[in-house]
Structure formats: structure tokens, C-alpha cells
């Protein structure tokens, strides 16, 4: 028997390669570096991410010309190169870069081994990118497992900390559960259509085959799998504990990165492969969106730990994103892309502030630890205030523009009720985001702990500055990113 | 078109922002420098805004000093600014009151001066933006963005219950605004459906055909946001808390400018965009306005805290403004706009005076005072003029506004006008009674006998306001004539969109002095 090798177009893989190589190199380099110079590993990882971002930007031109085809495929349908993938490559590159920056001082302070940390971050990024670009359900699953496995390990990175261990174990068990749902969904869809490639599934349905019950169940299971990954209510139970227990830098990475990757695959699967099920899903997702926003915001109201508060807030934000998914259409999808960038910036920024303030002492995790901070560290506190205003959706910040697009997409799709529930939710959320500011600026420092840390991580401050500039820029001049988002969705939303 | 060249409105917005940036770079310990710089920046804005008044073309009904630039083309939103006869007085009020408020903070604010002045300047930018933005999204950005500095002003430099007050202020405003945001988006899509163009340009949206039922919903959403801001009864409960807890300058700007954003919103957006719905809502809003007038006055009467008293009197005065707006004729609407300015001046001055006495006695409880007119003669004189202005004594500004509102309203809703007149009487009761208890009689505390009278800086704060109070009271024409064209344009536009019967025509328009205008109403 002759083995036929598929023809491989390497272009779709280009932005993935530096990340993979970076992951391997950091692992090896770690062995040869003396303890004092471990920061070089972080620099190396940053270079890998920068290379990937550059390649993504260069690839943009490859899919620009409609005559040459705006989509290219690597190894059959495994990896798709279109502007949608590239957009997510860039978003994930940004997330990963900010994560590495805010991890540097954080790991230093804890004197943790660094080589495997950065390697795991890079592999996790690789998995997320693969998931965002997957054109085949199996590849999407592969990406999902790759980043999940890396994140299970990262969540338990504080080996001596019980809560970190709990976080890792919980994430592993529930993550495995979600993976099983997802895989079973793929199996049923394969059973119904005979393929796992998104294009062929779409063609099969377009051929006039009515969706069989088997297929419907498969689609439903996929929905559950995605629901777990984006932490949508009622599949969110793992999220607060995992986010609270994991090292803070990992929490930031999970909150921003996982959501972007999962939504990328969610959009591609549901809009490209399964448009036949649109009616059934939009009802299901409508319910999920309302539950997710409402539960996330209401529970966040009563949190006293800032990580836990941001965890519930991230659940609520998944709800806003689901609103845009229900709305659909090119506006809905573009608003998801825009919002994911805004969301990544404001969350990573807020976590970067938490880390930058930590210095060489204990983490400041209780809201009351921030009392009086506005006057002791005015610049960092002002940045935190910007992130909170942005999360609350108050202009002129990225969060406001993101919500504006989402709710205008909802109205364009005639989902008035959903939009009203959404904006009322965002009023509720104002209360707990502003509470952080109240504590920082309006209450006196109660704890005897010295508030000014001995040293501030320069890298984390850099991450804060990048995020705050991005948040304000998108709030004042959103047109550029919105146009980019609109260009990126042609392949999936028509 | 305007005779001035250059983006004057953008400069008005940008100057305080740049000033705030500049202040941010200065060492926070140099209080004196920071205060003077903030005053200079706001003063510069005032001077620049004077040129808007000078070069304003009173004969032109439409927008002047228009600036347009591309902003977010994909959703049809652009950077669009302009002023007309409705927004110009409010713009000037804003730039006039802010330097005064900053000057008044020189002594009252002792801590964190740098952050305080930055907030004041950002607030100034935001307030100007609200009055000149003509794109709905841009307006919303200013409308909500302006909450941030005010939130800090009340929350950081306020009284003991400041956190409760500031959160209540923000949450009330937000709750109303988000629905307005949805209504704005819905309006743009409706417009797109009928014309094929997605735009948030107010001037394009006005006059678009909107089904009556839809108009009612959209008007309700806009109206709720504005009614909370005004605040109309029964949405007023945030106001006394915010006023009592806010620092003096915060109260001045809150009462002087922020409340006007609600009434301005009705005139600029809710009425012209949804004329039929506005007519349909007139009975409800007029009733609420009248209830507000009486309720505010009665509650003000029983307050023992000076600031709370003035806060409730604001509810009453703004009720007059709302009544005038929804009378929908020339006298009443012009009276309302003038009354917005008047209320900004007189209530602003009252808060300043209360702030001055508070700095001396550290209390605002009426019972604590008495006999102050003997120890503080200059203070008493200023207080007297301002009190009379607030009551509406002829010859002072308050009279002109209230008179125009009541005559205008009388033409269309006789009963409302008659009942509202009771509010004028009640205003005299609570203000004069307050004056009597604070200024006359014997002092109930020994401290009151040794107070220093107001000095040069404090006179410099009060005299400009008092001069304006007199000027508007004696010669309101320069302001009123600048409103005419725009207000007539607004009312004509509404009349052509609704049937003739619904909005009674204005009396024949008389060009001439204030006396002519009064005669024409008889």
C-alpha cells in the first residue's frame, strides 16, 4: 500500500511555529541558565510571541485579495488561514504577551522555577491558536486539550499552596468532564454526517439532508462543551474556585485567553458548520446569555475577594458575549471580536495592577487591602480605576464601546428583551466595580500593613501601561479595531 | 454661519482636558500653584466662551460654530458639535460657574488639592461636551463620562455619608441612561430603515417618520433618563443626598449645571425627535412638574439643614422649568431656558454662601444661627440679593423666568399655571423664613458673634453672580433675543410634525423689548 502524503500548505501554520518552537526552547534553555538569569527565559518567550505576531501581520496580506481566495487551508481542513484566524492569532498573541509581562515580577517574588512556567504558557497559547484556527472538529478538540492540559498544570503551579492544588484538581476534573461532552458531540455529529470537517458538515446540511436527531444531540453536546469553556451559567461552577486558587498571573491568562479561543471556535463551528440549527440554538443561547449575565453580576455583588469578584465578573462578561452571539449577523460577530479585545485589555490590566502592587509581600486579594491605595500609589490606582470603569461600561473606555456594539447588534437582530436585560445587568455591575474605586479612594487605610510595596515589578507596570493605553484608545477611537473586526469575519459570517 | 473661524467648541472642551493633564504632571505639594493654574485654565475657557456669545448670530435658527469630523463611520457616528440659542446660554452658564466654583474651593478644599482640581477641569470638559454634542453617541459619551469626575468629587471630598450619596447619584443616573442608550440605537436603526442611512446625527434624525407607538416607547426611555437628571418628582431622591454630601463647589456645579442637562435633554432631544409622543406625555409630565413644584417647596419648608433646604427648592424650581418646556409655546420655553440659567446663578450662589458660612461655623443647621446680619453685614447683603432672586422678586432674574413660564403655561394649561403660582408663594415662605431665622433675631450661639465677615476673595466669588442676577433681571433681552430663532424653529418643527390642534400656536412673535414681549402676552 502506498502512503499518500497530503499536500501541505505551510502558510496557515506560520504564526503557530514560533510559539511551538519557543515552548520547546524555553524548556531546554531553562536547564542551562543559572538561577539569577531566569528572566532571560521570559525574554525568549516574548520574542517567540513577537515573532508570531509579526508573522500574523505578514500573513494578513496573503488573504487580502479576494481573487486569490480569502481562505487557505493547511493539511486538508485542519488549520484554516483566514482573517478570522489571524485576528485571533493577534488577540491571543497580545494576551500571551501581557501575561508573560505580568508574570515576570510575580514569579520572581515567589522565587518559583520559571522555565516550565513560560513553556506551559507558550504551549497553552499554541493550543488556543490552534483552536481558533481549526477547520476540523478534531483539530479544535486537539487545540482545546492542548491548552487545557497546560492550564491544569499552571493552575497548580504553587505546589505548596492548598488552594492552588484545589484549583488545579477542580479544573482538571471538570475540564475532563467538558472534554468528554465535547468529544461525544463530535462523535455523534460524525455519526450523522460522516465527517468532522466543518466545511463538509455544512455542505452535507446544505445538500438537503435534514438534521437528524443524532445530529441535534451532537450539536447540543458541543454547546455544553463550549459552555464549560467560556464559563457560562449553568456550566460555570468550576470557574470561581479555579480562578481564585490559581496563581494570579494564570488567572489573568485563563480569563482572557480561554474565552477568546473558546469563542473563536464557538463562532466558527456554529456559524460555519451548523447554521441549520440556528433557530434551536439561538433560543438555547438566549437563555444561557440571560442566566450568565444575571447570575454572574448578582453573585459578584457580594464578593469580598478581588480575584473572586473578577471571576464572577468574567462570567457576566461571557453573558454579554453570548448576547452578541444570539444577535448574530455580521454586526453581532464583529462586536464579539471587538469585545474580546476590550475584555482582554481591561481584565489583564486589572490583574496586572494586582500583581504590580504585590511587591515582595503577600498578595493583596481582599478588597479591603486596597483601602487608601488611591493616594499611596496614585498612578497604579488611577489605572485600576480606568479598568473598573471600563468593566462597568462607562465611557470613554473600551468596555463602553464594546457594550455599545453588542447591544446595537442585539437591537439590529430585533432582540429587544435581551438588550434590555443586558443593559440593566450592566447597571447592577456598576455597583461592584465602583466599590473597588470607593475602597481605593474614599475609605481610609484600615490595615496596619504598610501599603507601599518595597519594589514594583517593572514588567507588570509595563503591562498595566499597555492595557490602560489600549483601553482608553479603544474607548476614544474605536473605529480602527471595529473595521478590522468587520474585515475579519467575512469568512465565517458572510 | 459663524463668523469665527477655528474649532472654538473643540477648544472649549480640550482646554480643560489639557489643563488637567498639566496639573497631573505638577508636584502635588504645590497647592497654591495648582489652584491658580486651575483657575487660570477655567478662566481661559470662560474668555473663549465669551466669543461664542459675541459672535453668535441671533437671527440664525440652526446650529452655529458647527464642527464635524469622522469618528466611528461603521456605526454612523461622527464627531459633531454645534450651539444654537438653546444651548448657548447653558454653555455660558457652565463656563461662568466653573471658575467661580474653583475659586470658592481655594479655602474649602484642604486635602488632595491636585486630584480635586483635575476632577473639576475634567468635569468642565464633560459639561461643555454635553451641551454642544449633536451626535447621539457622542452626547452619551459626555453624558456618562461626566459622571466620573462628579463621582469622585462627591465621594472623596464630600461629607460623612458621601459614599452612599455618590453611589446613589451614579446608579440613579446610570439606570436611566442605559435605557436611553438603547432607545438611541433603536432610533438610528429605525431611521436607517426608512432612509437607508445609519446615522446618529441629531439634525438628520429630527423629523424622521416614526410610528406613534414606537415614539411613545422611545420618548419614555429618553424621558426617564432626563427626568432622573432634572430631577422630576418622583425620581428626585438622589438629589438631597448628593447635595448635602457634596463639597461646596460640587453642589454649585451639580445644581448649577448638571440638573440643567436633564431639562436641556428634553428640549434638545426628546421633544424634537418625538413630537407626537411629547404631546401625548404632556399631561403626565405637567402633573408631575406641578407636584414637584409644590412637594419640593413644602419639603424645603421643614428642612433644618440649609443645604437640604436649597436642594428641595431645586426640585421645586426645576418643576417650573419642566412645566414651561411642556407648555410648548414661545414664552414658556424661553422662560424655561432663562429659568435654567437663573436657577444656576441663584442656587449656585446660595450654595456658595452656605459654603462660606459652613467654613466659619462648621454647621449648616438653621437652628445654630440667628442674628448673623449684625456680625456679617456684607454677607447678609449678598445673601439677601440671592434669596430675592430665588424667590423671584421683580427686578431680579428669577422674576423674568418665572413670569414667562407662568404666562406661557396659562395660555395652554390654566389650572396648572394657577396651581404652580402657589409654588411661587411657597418659595417666598420657605426662603424668607429661612432668611429670618438665620439672619435676624438673636444669636443662639456665642460663636456667631465673633465671625469674620466675607473678604475680598469671597466678594470676588459673589459679585459677578450678583451682577448677572441684576443684569438679567433688568435687561433680559440680549439673552432672550438670542434664543428666539432657535426656539421658534424648534416649536415650528414640532408643530409641522403633529397636527395643528395638538400644539396651540404661539402668540404672534413680537420683536422688541421685554416690555413688548410682556404686552404681547396680555
DSSP-based three-state secondary structure for B443: coil
CA distance A292 to A296: 6
pLDDT band for position B504 (cuts 50, 70, 90): low
Q: How far apart are alpha carbons A381 and A464 in whole angstroms?
A: 11
Mean pLDDT (whole number) for A354-363: 74
CA A350 to CA B474: how far, in whole Å? 56
CB B143 within 8 A of CB B177: yes
What percentage of chain B exceeds 70 in pLDDT?
A: 94
Using CA atoms, how far apart are residues A313 and A301, in angstroms rounded to an integer? 9
Smallest CA–CA distance, residue B217 to chain A, in Å, is 12
Question: Given B70, B163, B181, which is nearest A442 (Cβ)?
Answer: B163
Question: Alpha carbon of A460 to those of A42, A91, A98, A391, B446: distances in Å?
Answer: 13, 19, 8, 20, 59
CA distance A82 to chain B (A): 22
What are the phi and psi torsion angles at A337 (to 5°)?
-60, -45
Average pLDDT, chain B: 88
Nearest chain A residue to B164, by CA: A438
Higher pLDDT, A361 or B8: B8
Average pLDDT across chain A, whole number: 87
What is the torsion angle, in degrees rounded to the nearest 10, for the CA atoms of residue A184, residue A186, residue A187 and residue A193? 150
Residue A280 confidence (pLDDT) above 70? yes
What ipTM, to 2 d.p.? 0.92
**pLDDT at residue A447 tops 60:** no
From B153, which residue of chain A is nearest by alpha-carbon distance? A442
Per the CB < 8 Å rule, is A479 touching B147? no
pLDDT, residue A65, reads: 59
| Alpha-carbon gap: A493 to the closest alpha carbon of chain B (Å) | 17
**Residues in CB range of A81: below 8 A, 6 or more apart:** A9, A11, A12, A59, A62, A63, A71, A72, A73, A74, A133
Residue of A373, A441, A443 for testing the chain B interface, max B β-carbons within 10 Å: A441
- pLDDT of res. B511: 44
A294: distance to nearest CA of chain B, Å? 16
Q: Do A378 and B115 touch (CB under 8 A)?
A: yes
In tens, the pLDDT along A294-311 reads 999 999 999 999 999 999
Burial call A368-399: b when 16+ CB within 10 Å, e when fewer? ebbbbbbbbbbebbbbbbbbbbbbbbbbbbbb
Answer whether residue B323 is part of any domain: yes
Can you tell me which residue has the cell 465677615?
B453
Q: Minimum mean pLDDT among A82-96, A448-462, B102-116, B476-490: which range? A: A448-462
User: Nearest by CB to B145, which of A396, A408, A434?
Assistant: A396
What does the pLDDT read at residue A428?
Answer: 92
* Residue A431 touches partner B, C-beta closer than 8 Å: yes
Residue B79, C-alpha cell as written in the block: 464627531
pLDDT tens column, B422-457: 999 999 999 999 988 888 877 777 777 777 888 888
Least Cα distance to B459 among B352, B354, B375, B387 occurs for B352
Whose CA is closest to B13, among B180, B102, B146, B167? B146
Average pLDDT over residues B169-192: 92
Q: With an 8 Å Cβ cutoff, are B178 and A438 in contact? A: no
Whether the pLDDT of residue B508 is over 70: the answer is no
Spatial distance between the Cα atoms of A94 and A370, rounded to a whole number of angstroms: 28
For residues B386-395, average pLDDT: 90
Q: Which residue of A has its CA nearest to B183?
A: A411
B512 pLDDT more than 80: no
Is residue A350 classed exposed, middle or buried when 0-12, 13-18 and 19+ CB atoms within 10 A define those classes? Answer: buried
In A194-305, which ranges are continuous DSSP H helix? 198-206, 213-229, 238-245, 248-253, 259-267, 278-300
Contacts of A483 in chain B (CB under 8 A): 74
Domain range for B363 is 274-506
Mean per-residue pLDDT, B35-63: 91
Which residues of chain A does B187 touch, with a Cβ-Cβ cutoff of 8 Å? none
Domain ranges of chain A: 11-493
pLDDT of B502 > 70? The answer is no
Q: Which residues on chain B are in Cβ contact (under 8 Å) with A443?
A: 163
Which residue in B has a C-alpha nearest to residue A423's C-alpha? Answer: B178
Question: At residue A461, does pLDDT exceed 80?
Answer: yes
φ, ψ (nearest 5 deg) of residue A126: -60, -45
Q: Is residue B293 part of a domain?
A: yes
CA distance A380 to chain B (A): 14
Nearest-5° Cα angle at A481, A479 to A487: 100
For residue B86, pLDDT over 80 is answered with yes
Contact yes or no for A479 and B72 at CB 8 A: yes
Higher-pLDDT residue of A446 and B29 is B29
Q: What is the mean pLDDT of residues A335-352?
A: 94
Examine the pLDDT at B501 and tell me if it is beyond 50. Answer: no
The predicted structure's pLDDT at residue A494? 53
Give the separation between CA A386 and CA A398, rounded to whole angstroms. Answer: 10
Nearest to A440 by CA among B88, B115, B351: B115
Is A388 near chain B, with CB under 8 Å?
no
To 5 degrees, how large is the angle CA B444–CA B450–CA B454?
Answer: 110
| pLDDT tens digit sequence for A14-33 | 899 999 999 999 988 888 88
B196 in the Ramachandran plot: left (φ > 0), alpha (ψ -120 to 50) or beta?
Answer: left
Domain count, chain B: 1
- Smallest CA–CA separation between A430 and chain B, in Å? 7
Contact in structure between A147 and A131 (CB atoms under 8 Å): yes
Pick from A375, A389, A478: CB nearest B72? A478
Chain A residues 166-205 with a CB less than 8 Å from chain B: none
Q: pTM, whole model, 2 decimals?
A: 0.93
What CA–CA distances, in Å, run from A261 to A89, A225, B149?
9, 13, 37
Q: What is residue B522's predicted lDDT score, i.e. its pLDDT?
A: 35
pLDDT score at B1: 44
A 441-480 near B (Cβ less than 8 A): 441-443, 477-479
pLDDT attached to residue A66: 57
- Window from A64-68, A237-241, B174-178, B445-449 with minimum mean pLDDT: A64-68
Confidence at residue B520, expressed as pLDDT on a 0 to 100 scale: 45
Please choose, from the candidates A310, A394, A312, the residue with its C-alpha nearest in 3D space to the C-alpha of residue A350: A310
Nearest to B174 among A404, A408, A430 (CB): A430
- Alpha-carbon dihedral sign for residues A150, A154, A155, A157: positive
Q: Which tens digits make up the pLDDT trace of B136-148?
A: 999 999 999 999 9
| Rounded Cα–Cα distance for residues B120 and B125 (Å) | 9
Q: Does some domain include residue B305?
A: yes
Cross-chain residue pair B141–A396, CB shorter than 8 Å: yes
Give the pLDDT confidence score for residue B362 in this predicted structure: 84
Confidence of residue B130 (pLDDT cuts 50, 70, 90): very high
Collapsed DSSP state (helix, strand, coil) of residue B82: strand
Q: How far apart are CA B173 and CA B228, in angstroms?
A: 7
Residue B152 grid coordinates: 469622585
The count of CB pairs under 8 A between chains A and B is 84
| pLDDT tier at A342, thresholds 50, 70, 90 | very high
Q: Which of B148, B193, B228, B247 to mutate to probe the A interface, most A CBs <10 Å?
A: B148
Amino acid at each position: 500500500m502506498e502512503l499518500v502524503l497530503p499536500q501541505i500548505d505551510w502558510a496557515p501554520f506560520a504564526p503557530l511555529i514560533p510559539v511551538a518552537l519557543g515552548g520547546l526552547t524555553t524548556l531546554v534553555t531553562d536547564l542551562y541558565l543559572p538561577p539569577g538569569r531566569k528572566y532571560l527565559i521570559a525574554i525568549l518567550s516574548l520574542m517567540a510571541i513577537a515573532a508570531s505576531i509579526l508573522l500574523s501581520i505578514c500573513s494578513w496580506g496573503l488573504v487580502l485579495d479576494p481573487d486569490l481566495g480569502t481562505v487557505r487551508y493547511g493539511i486538508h481542513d485542519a488549520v484554516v488561514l483566514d482573517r478570522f484566524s489571524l485576528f485571533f492569532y493577534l488577540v491571543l498573541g497580545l494576551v500571551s504577551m501581557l501575561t508573560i509581562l505580568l508574570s515576570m515580577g510575580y514569579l520572581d517574588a515567589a522565587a518559583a522555577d520559571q522555565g516550565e512556567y513560560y513553556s506551559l504558557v507558550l504551549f497553552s497559547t499554541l493550543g488556543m491558536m490552534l483552536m481558533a484556527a481549526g477547520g476540523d472538529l478534531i483539530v479544535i478538540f486537539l487545540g482545546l486539550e492542548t491548552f487545557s492540559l497546560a492550564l491544569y498544570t499552571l493552575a497548580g503551579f504553587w505546589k505548596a499552596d492548598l488552594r492552588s492544588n484545589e484549583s488545579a484538581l477542580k479544573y482538571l476534573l471538570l475540564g475532563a468532564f467538558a472534554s468528554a461532552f465535547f468529544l461525544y458531540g463530535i462523535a455523534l455529529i460524525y455519526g450523522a454526517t460522516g465527517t468532522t470537517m466543518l466545511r463538509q458538515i455544512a455542505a452535507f446540511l446544505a445538500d438537503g439532508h435534514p438534521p437528524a436527531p443524532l445530529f441535534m444531540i451532537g450539536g447540543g453536546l458541543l454547546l455544553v462543551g463550549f459552555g464549560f469553556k467560556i464559563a457560562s451559567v449553568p456550566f460555570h461552577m468550576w470557574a470561581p474556585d479555579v480562578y481564585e486558587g490559581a496563581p494570579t498571573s494564570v488567572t489573568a491568562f485563563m480569563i482572557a485567553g480561554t474565552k477568546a479561543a473558546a469563542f473563536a471556535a464557538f463562532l466558527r463551528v456554529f456559524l460555519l458548520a451548523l447554521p441549520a440549527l440556528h433557530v434551536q440554538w439561538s433560543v438555547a443561547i438566549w437563555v444561557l446569555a440571560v442566566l450568565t449575565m444575571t447570575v454572574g453580576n448578582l453573585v459578584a455583588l457580594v464578593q469580598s475577594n478581588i480575584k473572586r469578584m473578577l471571576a464572577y465578573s468574567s462570567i457576566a462578561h461571557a453573558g454579554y458575549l453570548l448576547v452578541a452571539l444570539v444577535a448574530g449577523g455580521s454586526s453581532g460577530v464583529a462586536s464579539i471580536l471587538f469585545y474580546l479585545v476590550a475584555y482582554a485589555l481591561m481584565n489583564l490590566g486589572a490583574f496586572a495592577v494586582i500583581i504590580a502592587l504585590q511587591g515582595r509581600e503577600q498578595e493583596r486579594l481582599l478588597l479591603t487591602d486596597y483601602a487608601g491605595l488611591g493616594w499611596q500609589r496614585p498612578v497604579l490606582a488611577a489605572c485600576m480605576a480606568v479598568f473598573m470603569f471600563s468593566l462597568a461600561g462607562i465611557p470613554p473606555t473600551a468596555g463602553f464601546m464594546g457594550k455599545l456594539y453588542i447591544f446595537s447588534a442585539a437591537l439590529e437582530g430585533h432582540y429587544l428583551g435581551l438588550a434590555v436585560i443586558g443593559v440593566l445587568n450592566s447597571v447592577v455591575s456598576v455597583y461592584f466595580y465602583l466599590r473597588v474605586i470607593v475602597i481605593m479612594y474614599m475609605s481610609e487605610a484600615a490595615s496596619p500593613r504598610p501599603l507601599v510595596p518595597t519594589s514594583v515589578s517593572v514588567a507588570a507596570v509595563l503591562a498595566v501601561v499597555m492595557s490602560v493605553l489600549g483601553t482608553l484608545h479603544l474607548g476614544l477611537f474605536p473605529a480602527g479595531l471595529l473595521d478590522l473586526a468587520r474585515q475579519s469575519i467575512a469568512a465565517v459570517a458572510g | 454661519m459663524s463668523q469665527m473661524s477655528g474649532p472654538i467648541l473643540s477648544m472649549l472642551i480640550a482646554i480643560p482636558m489639557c489643563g488637567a493633564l498639566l496639573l497631573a504632571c505638577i508636584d502635588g505639594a504645590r497647592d497654591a500653584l495648582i489652584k491658580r493654574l486651575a483657575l487660570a485654565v477655567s478662566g481661559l475657557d470662560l474668555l473663549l466662551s465669551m466669543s461664542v456669545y459675541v459672535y453668535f448670530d441671533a437671527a440664525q435658527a440652526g446650529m452655529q460654530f458647527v464642527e464635524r469630523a469622522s469618528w466611528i463611520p461603521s456605526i454612523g457616528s461622527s464627531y459633531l458639535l454645534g450651539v444654537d440659542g438653546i444651548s448657548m446660554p447653558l454653555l455660558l452658564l457652565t463656563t461662568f460657574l466653573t471658575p467661580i466654583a474653583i475659586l470658592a474651593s481655594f479655602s474649602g478644599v484642604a486635602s488632595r488639592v491636585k486630584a480635586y482640581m483635575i476632577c473639576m477641569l475634567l468635569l468642565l470638559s464633560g459639561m461643555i461636551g454635553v451641551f454642544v454634542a449633536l451626535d447621539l453617541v457622542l452626547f452619551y459619551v459626555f453624558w456618562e463620562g461626566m459622571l466620573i469626575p462628579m463621582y469622585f468629587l462627591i465621594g472623596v471630598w464630600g461629607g460623612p455619608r458621601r459614599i452612599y450619596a455618590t453611589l446613589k447619584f451614579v446608579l440613579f443616573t446610570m439606570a436611566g441612561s442605559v435605557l436611553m442608550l438603547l432607545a438611541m440605537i433603536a432610533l438610528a436603526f429605525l431611521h436607517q430603515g426608512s432612509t437607508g442611512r445609519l446615522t446618529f446625527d441629531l439634525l438628520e434624525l429630527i423629523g424622521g417618520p416614526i410610528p406613534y407607538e414606537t415614539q411613545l416607547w422611545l420618548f419614555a426611555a429618553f424621558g426617564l433618563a432626563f427626568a432622573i437628571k432634572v430631577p422630576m418628582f418622583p425620581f428626585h431622591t438622589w438629589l438631597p443626598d448628593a447635595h448635602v454630601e457634596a463639597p461646596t463647589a460640587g453642589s454649585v456645579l451639580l445644581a448649577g449645571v448638571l440638573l440643567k442637562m436633564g431639562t436641556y435633554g428634553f428640549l434638545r432631544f426628546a421633544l424634537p425627535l418625538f413630537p407626537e409622543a411629547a404631546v401625548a406625555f404632556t399631561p403626565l409630565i405637567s402633573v408631575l412638574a406641578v407636584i414637584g413644584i409644590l412637594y419640593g417647596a413644602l419639603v424645603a419648608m421643614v428642612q433644618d439643614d440649609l443645604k437640604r433646604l436649597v436642594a428641595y427648592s431645586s426640585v421645586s424650581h426645576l418643576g417650573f422649568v419642566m412645566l414651561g418646556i411642556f407648555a410648548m409655546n414661545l414664552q414658556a420655553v424661553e422662560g424655561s431656558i432663562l429659568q435654567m440659567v437663573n436657577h444656576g446663578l441663584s442656587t449656585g450662589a446660595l450654595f456658595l454662601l452656605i459654603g462660606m458660612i459652613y467654613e466659619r461655623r462648621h454647621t449648616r443647621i438653621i437652628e445654630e444661627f440667628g442674628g448673623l446680619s449684625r456680625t456679617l453685614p456684607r454677607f447678609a447683603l449678598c445673601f439677601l440679593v440671592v434669596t430675592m432672586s430665588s424667590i423671584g422678586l421683580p427686578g431680579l432674574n428669577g422674576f423674568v423666568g418665572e413670569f414667562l413660564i407662568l404666562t406661557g403655561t396659562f395660555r395652554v394649561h390654566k389650572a396648572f399655571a394657577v396651581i404652580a403660582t402657589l409654588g411661587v408663594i411657597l418659595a417666598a415662605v420657605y426662603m424668607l423664613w429661612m432668611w429670618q431665622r438665620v439672619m435676624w433675631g438673636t444669636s443662639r450661639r456665642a460663636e456667631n458673634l465673633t465671625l469674620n465677615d466675607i473678604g475680598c476673595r469671597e466678594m470676588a466669588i459673589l459679585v459677578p453672580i450678583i451682577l448677572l442676577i441684576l443684569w438679567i433681571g433688568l435687561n433680559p433681552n440680549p439673552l432672550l433675543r438670542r434664543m428666539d430663532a432657535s426656539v421658534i424653529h424648534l416649536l415650528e418643527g414640532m408643530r409641522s410634525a403633529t397636527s395643528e390642534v395638538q400644539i396651540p400656536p404661539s402668540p404672534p412673535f413680537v420683536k422688541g423689548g421685554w416690555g413688548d414681549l410682556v404686552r404681547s402676552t396680555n
